[in-house]
């Protein structure tokens, strides 16, 4: 499609002729490149070929939305908050996009993304950062992965967390140790309730002892029982460092475990 720009020259001064924009029709593309006086920017908007740029800018908003159709109505789903908006125009979409980005910048909203964990698909919803919850998750990571407490003071981990979650204040290794002990006591209470709910009354205990490469001696206590559904269950109820692998030492630590 070519454009015809009808320019009417009115009487003016020799140095400043007056142009008026007329009718738009077809015209060879050569005239698109005609020089336009700088004092008449409105002609550049028509002749300079910015119509395609405006159209491009209009469609750039769809980088933040996904096309969908609900009950025969064309809508746009926000890629940040998952809201569905009527796609009659782009002005509403631009406003909604700006609001979502502002919320993300303040930390009031996180992008909804599908994530895979343990073979299942989960979706993150609106989320508010919580320092306590983050510290609890860090303590659970230290326990599950059997990491040393000083892991949180490694330079690589600090740099990683500064990129992933700059709002999280990394605790010291002493604080992580206290958090891990707190998790232990909380799970011990949960385990007691578990035995009350599942166990029929008889429990068998076994001990497993070994020596580490650093010549430290450990003992693990495991409880076996038949549940109310007549299935065999087992739970580790204690893991402790001992002085030697003798019968007296094992019996002493086992008694302490049962009292606790």
Residues 4 and 23: their CA atoms lie apart, in Å, by 7
pLDDT value of residue 135: 93
User: Is 129 in contact with 107 (CB distance < 8 Å)?
Assistant: yes
Mean pLDDT value across residues 103-118: 58
The residue extents of the domains of the chain are: 4-49, 63-128, 131-180, 199-259
CA neighbours within 13 Å on the CB side: how many for 30? 1
pLDDT value of residue 31: 44
Q: What percent of the chain stands above pLDDT 70?
A: 68
User: What is the CATH class of 199-259?
Assistant: alpha beta
pLDDT value of residue 37: 53
214-259 pLDDT, tens digit each? 898 999 999 998 888 888 988 888 888 888 888 888 888 888 888 8
What's the pLDDT band for 130 if we cut at 50, 70, 90?
Answer: confident
pLDDT higher than threshold 80 for residue 113: no
pLDDT higher than threshold 80 for residue 116: no
pTM over 0.85: no
DSSP per-residue letters across 126-185: S----HHHHHHHHHHHHHHTT--GGGGG-HHHHHHHHHH-TT--PPPHHHHHHHHHHHHH
Q: What percent of the chain stands above pLDDT 90?
A: 17
pLDDT higher than threshold 50 for residue 19: no
pLDDT higher than threshold 60 for residue 88: yes
pLDDT value of residue 54: 52
């Amino acid at each position: 499609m070519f454009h015809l720009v009808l320019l009417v020259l009115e009487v003016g001064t020799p140095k400043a002729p007056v142009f008026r924009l007329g009718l738009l029709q077809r015209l060879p593309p050569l005239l698109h490149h005609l020089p336009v006086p700088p004092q008449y920017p409105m002609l550049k908007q028509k002749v300079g070929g910015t119509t395609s740029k405006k159209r491009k800018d209009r469609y750039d908003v769809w980088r933040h939305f996904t096309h969908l159709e609900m009950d025969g109505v064309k809508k746009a789903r926000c890629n940040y908050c998952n809201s569905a908006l009527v796609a009659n125009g782009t002005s509403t979409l631009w406003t909604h996009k700006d609001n979502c980005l502002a919320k993300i910048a303040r930390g009031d909203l996180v992008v909804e993304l599908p994530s895979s964990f343990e073979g299942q698909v989960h979706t993150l919803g609106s989320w508010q950062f919580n320092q306590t919850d983050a510290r609890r998750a860090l303590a659970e990571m230290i326990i599950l992965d059997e990491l040393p407490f000083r892991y949180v003071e490694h330079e690589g981990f600090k740099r990683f967390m500064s990129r992933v979650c700059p709002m999280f204040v990394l605790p010291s290794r002493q604080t992580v140790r206290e958090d891990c002990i707190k998790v232990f006591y909380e799970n011990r209470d949960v385990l007691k309730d578990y035995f009350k709910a599942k166990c029929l009354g008889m429990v068998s205990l076994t001990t497993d002892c070994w020596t580490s490469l650093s010549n430290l001696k450990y003992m693990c206590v495991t409880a076996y029982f038949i549940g109310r559904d007549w299935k065999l269950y087992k739970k580790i109820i204690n893991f402790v460092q001992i002085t030697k692998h003798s019968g007296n030492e094992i019996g002493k630590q086992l008694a302490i475990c049962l009292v606790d």
